[in-house]
Amino acid sequence: MFLYLPVALTSINILLPVGLGLLVGVLSGLFGVGGGFLMTPLLIMLGIPSTVAAATDSNQIVAASTSGTYAHWKVGNVDFKMGIYLLVGGFVGGLLGVEAIKVLRAMGNADFVIKITYVVMLGIVGTYMFLESLSSMRNKKSEKVTEQKESKISIFLKSLPFQTHFEKSGVTHSVLVPIFLGTVVGILAAIMGVGGGFLMVPIMFYVLRMPMHVIVGTSLFQILFTCIEVTFLQSYTNHTVDFTLAVLLLLGSSIGAQVGAVFGRKLKGEQLKILLALIVLAVTVKIIFELTLTPSLLLSQAGGH
């Protein structure tokens, strides 16, 4: 059955967005990512204009992350305190990132810098996570080595003022740490035009030393608020949110997020990390192909990412 999308101005078989929502929702509930890196290009492939695809994706992530946060919260896997500090940083970072884009555009070659930053960040994060998870799965000794390495960073982090204990995560940090990290991810997310979940999750694990299952829930909590803000801004300023498409997507994604959360609890932290690393690496390879292979069309609709 086909439904007409009033803002995207196109017609779509309803099974496609519902199925797509289900798939991305599972990833979201499983890894604590929004899944925009997967959803937006797939929607564009289905004939949705890029601006509408990105904005509507934010709207459906609100549903998926609400569903996911709820599922993780029920089993005590959301650190609201940490999430709020990260959000404050993310908000500041978003504003700085938008200014950074203006500077880059004024300097020219903004797209080049953005794309290269994206590929390098994804590549480093994916490779590091993959190798680290693999070695710690294979050899328990490596955990000790990692702990020794991290202790230097820990000493520095502990020397910072405003130390506070994050009960759910079982860690103590200066409030400046999550605010600073949130800002960094916020800047990069704004420049790259993505939610930043794939950066936030590794940072929470490697720098904030949070347990993997609490990371997923807390990341979703943070994504929820970011996407509420983005959905409103996109509706208000660009008129690019397609309500009909969002409903179709969220039908799948809100259920998918629950399935992902349930499935995630059956996996160990290391297994979750290595799976996420593989997805991040797959996205990196996809972008490298996109950048180097001659595109079939040299024109695309203005706007979007």
Partner 1 sequence: MRYFISTNRFLIIFGLLMLLSLSVSMDDAFAEITANANHDHITIDSFYHGSTVSISGFSNPSDADLIIKLTSPDGHQSLRKKGKVASFLWMNTGELKIENVPNAYFLYSTRRIEDILSREEMDKYVIGYPALVKHATINVPAGEEKTKWFNEFIKFKESSKLFNTSVGKISTIKKDRKQDYSISAEWPYQAPPGNYTAQVYAVKDKKVIETAAVNVLVEQVGVVKSLADMAKNNAALYGLISIAVALGAGFGVGMVFRKSGGAH
Beta bridge partners of 164: 173
Q: Quick one: 255 or 283, whose CB is closer to partner 1?
A: 255
Q: CB count, 10 Å around CB of 84?
A: 18
Using the rule CB under 8 A, which residue among 60, 183, 219, 284 binds partner 1? 60
Q: Which two tokens stand for residue 72?
A: 């993780």
222 binds partner 1 (CB under 8 A): no
* Amino acid in the structure at residue 214: V
286 binds partner 1 (CB under 8 A): no
* Closest by CA position to 212, among listed 275, 145, 164: 275
Region near partner 1 per CB under 8 A, out of 65-73, 84-92, 120-128, 158-166:
65-73
Pattern 31-50, partner 1, x by CB under 8 A: ----------------x---
Evaluate whether 71 touches 258 at the Cβ level (below 8 Å).
Answer: yes
300 binds partner 1 (CB under 8 A): yes
Phi then psi dihedrals of residue 171, to 5 deg: -130, 155
How far is residue 75 from each of residues 70, 71, 168, 217, 263, measured CA to CA in Å? 9, 7, 11, 10, 13
105 binds partner 1 (CB under 8 A): no
Supply the minimum distance, in Å, between the C-beta of residue 182 and partner 1: 22
Q: Quick one: 111 or 167, whose CB is closer to partner 1?
A: 111
Using the rule CB under 8 A, which residue among 92, 262, 267, 281 binds partner 1? 262
Q: Which two tokens stand for residue 138?
A: 């294979």
Q: How far apart are CA 164 and CA 174, in angstroms?
A: 6
Residues forming contacts to partner 1 in the complex (CB under 8 A) are 1-4, 6-7, 9-11, 47, 59-60, 62-71, 74-75, 109, 111-112, 115, 228, 231-237, 239, 241-244, 246-247, 250-251, 254-255, 257-259, 261-262, 290-295, 297-302
